[in-house]
Amino acid sequence: MANWKGKWQVFFTSTGSIHGGQETTTITSLISLFHFGIIFVGLSYSENQEQLTADGIGGSPYSASTVAGPDGRSQPDQRDLLMAKRLGKRVASVAKALK
């Protein structure tokens, strides 16, 4: 088995609806990561005010996500993309610190 201890991990998810399990998918997956000593990097509310909305978009403190729609054809909202970009920057910062 590869040595994953101390490595970082993020999640990008999509669902068919706003209640499709974006957060549940990530939270459930975290358990396995922690067993292997992986460092999880998420999205804080303080850095992603877009999450504080009643609109049907993706995003949570746990992962970058989007609502793909019931047929999977919906494109990410610009706010989804912005949060994903911030998560990428955060990952780069964590990776640099771990190096």
DSSP string for 23-42: HHHHHHHHHHHHHTTPEE--
Residue 22 falls within a domain, yes or no? no
- Percent pLDDT > 90 in the chain is 49
For residue 36, being part of any structural domain is answered with yes
Is residue 18 assigned to a domain? no
pTM value is 0.83
Using pLDDT thresholds of 50, 70 and 90, give the confidence band for residue 96. Answer: very high
Domain membership flag for residue 11:
no
Residue 56 belongs to domain spanning: 30-98
In a domain, 15, yes or no: no
Say which DSSP state 72 is in: S
| pLDDT the model gives residue 1 | 57
Between 91 and 99, the higher pLDDT residue: 91
CB contact set of 45 (below 8 Å; sequence gap of 6+) = 51, 52, 61
Q: Does the structure show a pLDDT above 80 at 31?
A: yes
Q: What is the mean pLDDT of residues 54-83?
A: 89
CA 43 to chain centre: 7
Name the CA dihedral angle for 80, 9, 22, 24, rounded to a multiple of 10 degrees. -160
Share of the chain above pLDDT 70, in %: 98
Mean pLDDT of the chain: 88
The answer to whether residue 12 sits within a structural domain is no
Residue 9 lies in a domain: no
Q: Tell me whether residue 51 is in a domain.
A: yes
Question: How confident is the model over 28-54, as a mean pLDDT?
Answer: 86
